[in-house]
């Protein structure tokens, strides 16, 4: 609080000095402001140039700063700054986190590949692990949850069965009917003595008010926001959001996937009467990694990973020796802006590169980087069945038009693109050869690959993969395939709009 007051007083003082100086000089305020923005734009352009960003991103920034310097400066302040400050801030206590991971994974999740995995799955899992993915966990049962009704029913049932703790984390959490229902269930368990920790992203859940959260706090629930927007570090943090969706019950049952908490995910929105989504329920050893991801986010949000100790969580209450008799294995892969590489993107590329017959993708936002786009095109040309399932109705004009700018080269190469009829396709799934699948929070776009905190679960030799295949087949039936011969006839006006939105997309 003191930092915010001091910053405000500093800004007021500087503004006052500038206005006094302008009043005593012959320079107009308009000329002064224009000069400041011009110099700032040139400085920003130089910084972007020496950072060696991608050619697409660099060119986009140069054009915006040249054509709309004032808009460009504000856009850069919010979304364009380099991650080096952020990474330095996040890694201040990296050694302690490293020790925690070594203890956790060394004592509970061995690095060896389970002998039950087939050769192909074992090879891919090893590669993903080298890319930064988590250990491969066998003895883990998974269940595909299709759409909101099934997902929220399972979540509420598991919450009611909690005995020791409930950890819940969301990007978007709404104070509507389903949000209130889950909140009240959490309050009930907290009053019964269950430890409840509630973490939400302050941008995605910006509509949450104290009147909604206060009853939780009164019941003893620990409520923390991730990267508050109204903070001394607004400009450094607004672009790096926590997009993860995690629920953990007693360290034994977990949930992750595409669904946030809100009535729209139940098809109760006028704009989206049909909301197609997928979630995943997990039980068993893979919960160790999921729990670790939650705790790292929680501790960072609480104290920046400086003074809060891991020790209270390093016991069997949070990491129980809980295994389930289940086939296959699960590998949790997490990434974020503090990572040195695009861990999830690289894991997906490794999985898609291994494809021999098919790659099916469901994503609400399709803004691939050049490596992903090239892989999909070449795979289609090589005869692999590439299908992309995309929303029929989008929630973002910029994303929708930017996504469609990538359709032409893919369709021409033989990729099949399906638009989900009359509804919003929000699932984030990749299916490889009907044998390996990924499901999680990450979209197939640059923001998920580079800027957001995300996670995916990779499923190997699991019957859940067959359930994912079943849903895909039904979704294709409920979709309209985009034909190349029709798509290429779209108007010049639409092509210009697509190109403009594609130009902006690397900035966001």
Q: Is residue 426 annotated as a catalytic residue, yes or no?
A: yes
Exactly one of 426, 461, 467, 471 is catalytic; name it: 426
Q: Say if residues 49 and 209 touch (Cβ distance below 8 Å).
A: no
Q: Is residue 123 annotated as a catalytic residue, yes or no?
A: no
Exactly one of 93, 201, 202, 250 is catalytic; name it: 250
Q: Is residue 489 annotated as a catalytic residue, yes or no?
A: no
Q: Is residue 428 annotated as a catalytic residue, yes or no?
A: yes
Cα–Cα distances in Å, from 123 out to 60, 65, 126, 297, 351? Answer: 39, 46, 5, 30, 10
DSSP 188-216: HHHHTT-EEEEEEETTTTTT--HHHHHHH
Exactly one of 243, 279, 285, 342 is catalytic; name it: 243
Exactly one of 428, 445, 467, 471 is catalytic; name it: 428
Output b/e per residue, 426-445; b: 16+ Cβ within 10 A: bbbbbbbbebbbbbbbbbbb
Q: Is residue 281 annotated as a catalytic residue, yes or no?
A: no
Helix axes 343-353 and 119-130, enclosed angle (nearest 10)? 150
Q: Say if residues 233 and 307 touch (Cβ distance below 8 Å).
A: no
Is 483 in a helix, a strand, or coil? coil
Q: Is residue 433 annotated as a catalytic residue, yes or no?
A: yes
Exactly one of 245, 281, 285, 342 is catalytic; name it: 245
Exactly one of 433, 445, 467, 471 is catalytic; name it: 433
Q: Say if residues 413 and 380 touch (Cβ distance below 8 Å).
A: yes
Q: Say if residues 280 and 144 touch (Cβ distance below 8 Å).
A: yes
Closest CA to 462 of 149, 151, 125: 125
Q: Say if residues 441 and 456 touch (Cβ distance below 8 Å).
A: yes
Helix axes 177-191 and 210-218, enclosed angle (nearest 10)? 20
Beta bridge partners of 436: 432, 460
Catalytic residues: 243, 245, 250, 426, 428, 433
């Amino acid at each position: 609080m003191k930092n915010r007051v001091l910053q405000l007083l500093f800004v007021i003082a500087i503004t006052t000095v500038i206005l006094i100086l302008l009043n005593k000089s012959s320079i107009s305020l308009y000329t002064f402001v224009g000069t400041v923005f011009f110099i700032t734009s040139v400085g920003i352009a130089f910084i972007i140039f020496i950072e060696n960003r991608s050619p697409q991103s660099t060119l986009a920034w140069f054009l915006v700063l040249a054509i709309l310097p004032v808009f460009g400066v504000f856009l850069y302040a919010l979304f364009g700054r380099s991650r080096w400050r952020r990474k330095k801030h996040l890694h201040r206590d990296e050694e302690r986190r490293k020790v925690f991971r070594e203890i956790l994974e060394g004592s509970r999740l061995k690095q060896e590949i389970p002998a039950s995995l087939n050769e192909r799955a074992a090879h891919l899992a090893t590669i993903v692990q080298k890319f930064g993915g988590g250990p491969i966990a066998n003895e883990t049962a998974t269940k595909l949850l299709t759409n909101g009704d099934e997902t929220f029913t399972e979540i509420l049932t598991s919450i009611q069965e909690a005995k020791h703790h409930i950890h819940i984390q969301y990007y978007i959490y709404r104070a509507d009917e389903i949000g209130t229902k889950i909140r009240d269930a959490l309050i009930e368990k907290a009053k019964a003595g269950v430890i409840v920790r509630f973490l939400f992203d302050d941008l995605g859940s910006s509509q949450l008010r104290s009147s909604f959260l206060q009853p939780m706090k009164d019941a003893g629930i620990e409520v923390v926001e991730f990267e508050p927007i109204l903070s001394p570090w607004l400009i450094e943090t607004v672009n790096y959001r926590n997009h993860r969706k995690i629920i953990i019950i007693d360290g034994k049952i977990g949930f992750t996937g595409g669904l946030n908490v809100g009535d729209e995910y139940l098809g109760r929105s006028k704009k989206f009467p049909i909301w197609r989504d997928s979630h995943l329920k997990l039980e068993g050893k893979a919960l160790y990694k999921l729990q670790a991801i939650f705790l790292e986010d929680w501790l960072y949000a609480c104290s920046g990973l400086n003074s809060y100790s891991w020790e209270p969580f390093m016991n069997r209450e949070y990491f129980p020796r809980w295994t389930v008799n289940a086939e296959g294995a699960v590998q949790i892969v997490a990434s974020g802006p503090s990572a040195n590489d695009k861990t999830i993107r690289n894991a997906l590329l490794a999985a898609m590169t291994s494809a021999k017959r098919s790659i099916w993708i469901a994503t609400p936002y399709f803004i691939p980087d050049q490596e992903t786009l090239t892989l999909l095109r070449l795979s289609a040309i090589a005869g692999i069945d590439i299908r992309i399932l995309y929303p029929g109705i989008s929630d973002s004009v910029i994303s929708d038009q930017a996504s469609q700018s990538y359709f032409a080269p893919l369709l021409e190469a033989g990729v099949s693109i399906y638009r989900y009829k009359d509804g919003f396709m929000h699932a984030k799934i990749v299916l490889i050869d009907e044998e390996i699948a990924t499901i999680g929070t990450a979209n197939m776009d640059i923001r998920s690959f580079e800027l957001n905190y995300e996670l995916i679960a990779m499923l190997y030799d699991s019957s859940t993969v067959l359930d994912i295949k079943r849903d895909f087949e039904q979704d294709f039936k409920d979709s309209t395939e985009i034909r190349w011969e029709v798509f290429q006839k779209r108007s010049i006006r639409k092509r210009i709009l697509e190109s403009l939105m594609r130009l902006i997309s690397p900035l966001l």
